[in-house]
Chains A and B, each alone.
Chain A
Amino acid sequence: MSDIQTLDLKGFVIHSVESVFQTMLSMEIELENPAVKESIGNNGLIVGSVGFAGKIMGNINLFVSRAFGREMAAAMLGMTVDEIGSGEEVNDVIGEVCNMVGGEMKSRLCDAGLNCSLSIPSVTYGNDFKIESKGWGQHEQLGFRNRQHSALLEIYVKSAN
């Protein structure tokens, strides 16, 4: 069983995000360094979150702008951005994307001997808010870019012991 300090969290995250974006959204996404969190929420922010608990506990938060969220929804549903109606469709897509990223992460953690269960995803949206996780043992914050849009993924983990 791996110790969380020896986990390649960054590698897990990069693989999971790339896999989901390429397969479900047909979007090429590349690592953006440094992560530009501040610019993502200038005109509305959507955050998909999923938790996991077991031998390892933690949270995954995926931050995107409202504009990028609409593009992601259009890509996933095979529609144009103009055809995306309510915010509910966008929120559902973000929640599902976060669920899939969490699922990929969970599979890798379990393969590393750190069995855990995934929570249902939740979506937070608005214009001016922060999300903080407390008491974590290891943390990664990674920025990604698709054309003119940025996304940010944060993962916080701690050992259950």
Chain B
Amino acid sequence: MGDSKTICMIVKKAFQSYDCAIFEADNGVEGLAAATKEKPGLIVLDITMPVMYGIEMLDRLKSDPELKNIPVIMLTAQSGTDNVLSIVKKGIKDYIVKPFKGEDLIEACQEDHVPGA
């Protein structure tokens, strides 16, 4: 979920060889609606989004009983310690700092992946 078509294309390309359906949303409001409807197995969420910031969308996901257990991987352009800690505390599966490669995203999706590794 994110308004950057570039990032969406990179994410889609990373998953193209895997048997999965990908749903896109341009902003946090559409993202919440899509998550509610589709109940995805994983959400890749860009922090910087219009209408509803990624952090706010994450808070709403975590406060919804039907959505809170969906694993979330956050994408952020800011690697500072405070920024990362504030994200990790919200119970995400992992975070990826831009710039990143598609392989980084796939690795973060692995069940046994250690966050931040």
Contact = CB atoms under 8 A, between A and B. Distances in A.
A19 interface: yes
Contact count band on B:
20 to 34
Contacts of B82: 110, 115
A96 B78 contact: no
Contacts of B22: none
Contacts, number: 65
A110 B77 CA distance: 13
Interface in B65-89: 76-83
A110 B80 contact: yes
A115 B83 CA distance: 11
Contact of A120 (B48, B80, B83, B99): B48
Contacts of A92: 4-6
Contacts of B10: 76-77
Interface string B1-20: 00011110110010000000
Interface in B41-83: 48, 50, 76-83
Interface of B: 4-7, 9-10, 13, 48, 50, 76-83, 97-101
Interface of A: 19-20, 23-24, 73, 76-78, 88-89, 92-93, 95-96, 99-100, 102-104, 106-107, 110-111, 115, 118, 120
11 contacts: A23-B101, A77-B13, A89-B6, A92-B6, A96-B6, A96-B7, A100-B77, A102-B77, A103-B77, A104-B77, A115-B82
